C-alpha cells in the first residue's frame, strides 16, 4: 500500500526532533504497514500544495491525504532564482552576523547553481516577503498584502484549491482525506488540525505528543 501526504510544515513535522520518525504520516504508515511519500514542506501555500498535487502520479497511490494551509500564503515563479540570494543576504544582515563567512560561502554556491524556482510568500514572516523585487522603495509583496490581497481573494483561492483536489480525487475514485490548519476554513474538510487539543511546540506546530494524537484521529476517518 502507498500513501501520499501533502501539506505545509504541520504535515512535514516541523519542530520535531526527528521529523521523519515522529510525524503523523509515519505513524499512520506504520499502522497500515504502508509505504509513505510525504511531500509536505515548510511554508507551502495552498497554490503550491495544489501544484505539487497535480505533478504526482496520483493513480499510483492507494490513499491520499492533503492538508490545506493558511489562505493568505501564495507563491510566484522566479525564473532567475535570485530571491534565494536576497533572502540569505537578509539573514546575514539581521540574524547571523557572527557567521557571515559561512553564509558568504553559501552565496557563492548558490550563484553557481541558480535557476528558476517557485518561491513561497508568507505574510506573517518578514523574511518570506523579501525577494529583492522593490517597487517605490518597498518590497513588492508588501504592496501586494497592503493594496491587492483581501480575505475574499484568500477564501476564493481556498475554495478553488479545495474543489480542484476534491474533484480530482473523486474522479479518480481515490480514498482520501482533506485536512486543514486554517481555523476559519469554510470548506467541508475531514479534520481540523489547528485544534487546541493537540499539544504544540514553541513555534506552534504540533509536538511529538500532538503528532501521536493526530495520527489516530486521522485513522478513525479511514
The whole-angstrom separation of Cα 45 and Cα 185 is 14
148-167 positions binding other proteins, by CB under 8 A: 148-150, 152-153, 156, 159-160, 163-164, 167
CB of 152 to other proteins, least distance (A): 4
Interface residue with other proteins among 101, 171, 197, 220 (CB under 8 A) is 171
Q: How many residues bind other proteins (CB under 8 A)?
A: 29
Closest CA to 80 of 111, 114, 128: 114
* Number of Cβ within a 10 Å radius of residue 11: 28
SS (H, E, C) 43-94: CCCHHHHHHHHHHCCHHHCCEEEEEECCCCCEEEEECCCCHHHHHHHHHHHH
Q: Is 147 in the site for other proteins (CB under 8 A)?
A: yes
Assess contact for 211 and 16: CB atoms under 8 A. yes
| Residue with Cβ nearer other proteins (15 or 158) | 158
Residues in 36-75 that interact with other proteins by CB under 8 A? 50-51, 54
Binding status of residue 136 toward other proteins by CB under 8 A: yes
Site for other proteins in 88-127 (CB under 8 A): 116
- Based on the shown chain and the rule CB under 8 A, indicate whether residue 144 belongs to the binding site for other proteins: yes
Indicate the residue among 77 and 96 with the shorter CB distance to other proteins.
77
Amino acid at each position: 500500500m502507498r500513501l501520499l501526504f501533502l501539506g505545509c510544515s504541520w504535515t512535514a513535522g516541523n519542530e520535531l526532533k526527528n521529523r521523519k520518525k515522529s510525524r503523523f504520516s509515519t505513524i499512520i504508515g506504520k499502522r497500515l504497514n504502508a509505504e509513505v511519500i510525504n511531500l509536505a514542506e515548510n511554508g507551502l501555500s495552498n497554490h503550491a500544495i495544489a501544484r505539487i498535487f497535480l505533478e504526482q502520479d496520483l493513480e499510483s497511490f492507494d490513499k491520499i491525504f492533503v492538508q490545506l494551509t493558511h489562505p493568505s500564503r501564495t507563491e510566484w515563479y522566479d525564473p532567475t532564482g535570485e530571491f534565494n540570494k536576497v533572502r540569505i543576504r537578509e539573514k546575514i544582515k539581521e540574524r547571523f552576523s557572527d557567521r557571515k563567512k559561512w553564509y558568504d560561502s553559501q552565496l557563492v554556491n548558490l550563484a553557481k547553481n541558480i535557476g528558476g524556482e517557485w518561491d513561497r510568500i508568507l505574510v506573517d514572516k518578514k523574511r518570506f516577503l523579501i525577494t529583492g523585487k522593490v517597487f517605490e522603495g518597498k518590497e513588492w509583496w508588501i504592496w501586494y498584502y497592503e493594496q491587492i490581497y483581501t480575505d475574499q481573494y484568500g477564501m476564493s483561492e481556498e475554495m478553488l484549491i479545495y474543489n480542484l483536489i476534491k474533484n480530482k480525487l473523486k474522479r479518480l475514485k481515490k480514498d482520501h482525506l482533506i485536512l486543514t490548519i486554517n481555523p476559519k476554513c469554510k470548506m467541508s474538510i475531514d479534520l481540523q488540525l489547528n485544534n487546541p487539543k493537540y499539544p504544540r511546540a514553541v513555534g506552534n506546530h504540533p509536538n511529538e505528543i500532538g503528532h501521536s494524537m493526530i495520527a489516530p484521529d486521522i485513522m478513525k476517518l479511514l
